[in-house]
A and B are shown apart, each in its own frame.
Chain A
Amino acid sequence: GQQLNQSPQSMFIQEGEDVSMNCTSSSIFNTWLWYKQDPGEGPVLLIALYKAGELTSNGRLTAQFGITRKDSFLNISASIPSDVGIYFCAGQWSGADGLTFGKGTHLIIQP
Chain B
Amino acid sequence: NAGVTQTPKFRVLKTGQSMTLLCAQDMNHEYMYWYRQDPGMGLRLIHYSVGEGTTAKGEVPDGYNVSRLKKQNFLLGLESAAPSQTSVYFCASKSAGLGSYEQYFGPGTRLTVT
Contact = CB atoms under 8 A, between A and B. Distances in A.
Interface residues of B, number: 28
B33 A98 contact: yes
Given A33-B101, A98-B35, A1 B44 contact: yes
Contacts, number: 68
Contacts of B42: 3-4, 6, 88, 90, 101-104
A69 to B, nearest CB: 15
Interface stretch (B11-19, B66-74, B75-83, B104-112): B104-112
B60 A88 contact: no
Contacts of B40: 103-104
Interface residue range, chain A: 20 to 34
A101 to B, nearest CB: 3
Contacts of B90: 42-43
A1 B59 contact: yes
Nearest to A30: B101
Contacts of A55: none
B43 interface: yes
Contact of B58 (A4, A41, A98): A98
Contacts of B100: 95
B41 interface: yes
Contact of A41 (B44, B59, B96, B107): B107
Contact of B96 (A6, A95, A102): A95
B41 to A, nearest CB: 6
A90 to B, nearest CB: 8
A92 interface: yes
Interface in A18-59: 31, 33, 40-45, 48, 50
A100 B35 CA distance: 10
Interface of B: 4, 31, 33, 35, 40-45, 48, 50, 58-60, 90, 92, 94, 96, 100-108
Interface of A: 1-4, 6, 31, 33, 40-45, 48, 50, 88, 90, 92, 95-104
